[in-house]
Structure 1
Amino acid sequence: MPGELVRVADHDVRPGIATDLGDGDEWPEIRRKVAAADILLISTPTWVGYMSSIAQRVVERLNAEQSETDDEGRPGMFGKVGVVAVVGNEDGAHKITADLFQSLNDIGFTIPAQGGTYWNGEAMKGGDYQDLDETPEAVASTNATLVRNAVHLAELLGKQQYPAS
């Protein structure tokens, strides 16, 4: 199953809840990639106990999808799986995951069992997940479960879509 990493911070994604905000807005191309994908992973750092403003921007732009439908009247993101990964060196991962899950669900994504993973370093200390010598076993196990469950659910939804509206 091929995948693509899109680092939204590297793109001009304007604030708002529209599918296209005009000349220079790079969201339409990212949106096309999301629409073509079976699984969307939103990954965010924990900043002052909250998701990054960039992750929030993605949710805001995805909000426009609530008014987009397929040929049978289903919201456009129905049949897609949404998962979440959070990293940081302070607490907040559960709240961030809950906020993202609710947003993704409202937009039409399906959340698999154990569809969230996180790593938090020691509070008030430096250190980033990407700088670890190895992934802690508990995190590696959770990551693997997330992937298995997301792929399983995406395969099921690919075979049998939600009923038409």
Structure 2
Amino acid sequence: MRAVVLNCTLKKSPETSNTQLLANVVESALRERGVEVSTIRLVDHNIPPGVMTDLGEGDDWPGIHEQLLNAEILVVATPTWVGHPSSLAQRALERMDAMLSETDDEERPVAYNRVAGVVVTGNEDGAHHVISEVSGGLADIGYTIPGQAWTYWNMGPGPGPSYSDTDHRHDWSESTGKAMASNLYAVASALAKNPIPAPPS
């Protein structure tokens, strides 16, 4: 089984990503279950705005799209900015919109029988709103969203230190991240045995 993590931080490599630090917990728990995990930091790639899979020369999204189709599990990891997912998380969802019209050999939408979850960080509150926005978009595209397939960390109302600056409630976020990985793996395994059929014509 394979998983792809789309890290939607605004920080280019090799700058430390707080979002990646929490995503690492989920990645490790998936690897413990034998899942092959790869991470893509979107800010390091050229991803033009649009709602097509391939926007031509210089567009890095087609390669990312191929990795999505080769994975049974998707994790979208995003910071919170002004109470919303990062602009790169929104851009990823917009580019994934093209998957709505793409089908597999059995005429099923290509996101069918794949699961997805969300990781959110931010030194202000708003994580549940971000989880809802991203999960809703992924469900529209065709991904199955298991129960409690998310984890987050924030400091509560108002600005404050970042995830890497404090140990505040890391224990809860990490425990929730491990549960998230377990739920993603369980539902992905169930779908592999009993796949969702093509929609009725």
Give the TM-score normalised by structure 1.
0.95
Q: Which residue of 2 aligns with 1:29?
A: 63
Q: Deviations over 1:92-144 (max 9, x none)?
A: 11111111111000101000110111101244344222344586221121111
Other structure's SS at 1:77 match: coil
Other structure's SS at 2:74 match: strand
Structure 1, unmatched stretches of 5+, are none
Aligned residues: 165
> Distance between the aligned counterparts of 1:50 and 1:64, measured in 2?
22
Q: Which residue of 1 aligns with 2:173?
A: 139
Aligned-residue sequence identity (percent) comes to: 44
Query: Are 1:89 and 2:140 matched, yes or no?
Result: no
Structural RMSD (CA): 1.4
Question: Using a 3 Å threshold, how does the CA distance of structure 1 residues 62 and 2 change in structure 2: closer, same or farther?
Answer: same
Superposition pairs of residues 118-129 of structure 1, within 5 angstroms = 118-129=152-163
Q: Which residue of 1 aligns with 2:133?
A: 99
Q: Deviations over 1:52-100 (max 9, x none)?
A: 0000000000111000011111100100001001100111111111111
Structure 2, unmatched stretches of 5+, are 1-34
Give the TM-score normalised by structure 2.
0.78
Moved more, 125-134 or 45-54: 125-134
